Each structure stands twice: as structure tokens, then as C-alpha cells.
Amino acid sequence: MFRLSKKLMFAIEAVLDIAYNSADEPVQSSEITRRQGIPRRYLEQVLQHLVRDGVLSGVRGPRGGYRLARERRRITVGDIVRVVRSMEAAADPTEDPAGSPLGHAIVRPMWQDIHAELMDRLDSLTIDDLCRRAQNKGVAREAKSDADFSI
């Protein structure tokens, strides 16, 4: 089930920061920490999982860092949610065999429907959409160009 956690918020902010502030160079985690105030203990772990699951790509070396692995219009908030949910591995209460007949017949299916609707909405919201929202709100950026994709 979906649960809004600090780790999830930080993951979305980190990917958005990379998309919004990257230019030709990879974005270093220290830059994300400086701009977003995300504690490094959360950030490094989340970034590595996002690389493993193909949302980001890691660049090694002294000028290394992170880039989007796909165009920002092809990365959804739902993609990020799934990565973080796999990290958190909390038991899904709707899967517990214990419970009442009302719980199994009514409450759990209702909750699963709400969860599916939420994930559909998050899958329709791209990182590009969030970047445009940030631009429209006048959020300052450090990128020198509007790069969207890096190989």
C-alpha cells in the first residue's frame, strides 16, 4: 500500500532536482543536499536504488554524479514511488489473512481501488510536468540549458 514517507518525498525531490538543475554535467549528491536540504543518509541510499531500477544513471569519477536514465517526460512519479516502496518493504495490511468478513469483502477492496487510482494518477504525472510547474512558479535553477536527456 502507498505510504508517504520522508524517503519517498526525498526521492521525488532528488529526481526533480536532477532534472531541473542538470545541464551537460552529472549532478553530484552534494549539490542535491545543498539545494534541497536532504540528509545524505537518505539521499545516497535512495539514489543507488533509483540507479538500479533504471530511473537514474550513475557517472563515476571526480566529476561524476547522477543523470536521468530516460527523458524526463518518460519518468513518472509512479516509477519513483515503486522504487521507494520496494526499499521500505513494509507488510501490506490488505494481504494479511486475518480480519473480519467486512474487512475482506468491503474495506480491503475499497482501499485497493483507491491505491490503484492513486498509482494511475502518479503514473500520469511525469518529471517533465513537475519541472514545468517549478518553472511556472519561478523556482530558481542552476542549469545553464534546458537539457532533457543524457546518454
Q: Which domains does the chain have, with CATH numbers?
A: 6-136 (1.10.10.10)
8-37 in b/e burial notation, b at 16+ Cβ within 10 A?
Answer: bebbbbbbbbbbbbbeebbbebebbbebee
Enter the DSSP assignment of 26.
P
Question: Which band of pLDDT confidence, cut at 50, 70 and 90, is reported for residue 114?
Answer: very high
For residue 90, pLDDT beyond 70: no
More confident residue, 93 or 107: 107
Contact in structure between 59 and 150 (CB atoms under 8 Å): no
Distance CA(149)–CA(151), nearest Å, equals 7
Q: What is the mean pLDDT of the chain?
A: 89
For residue 139, pLDDT beyond 60: yes
Digit-coded pLDDT (tens) for 9-35: 999 999 999 999 987 789 999 999 999
Enter the DSSP assignment of 65.
E
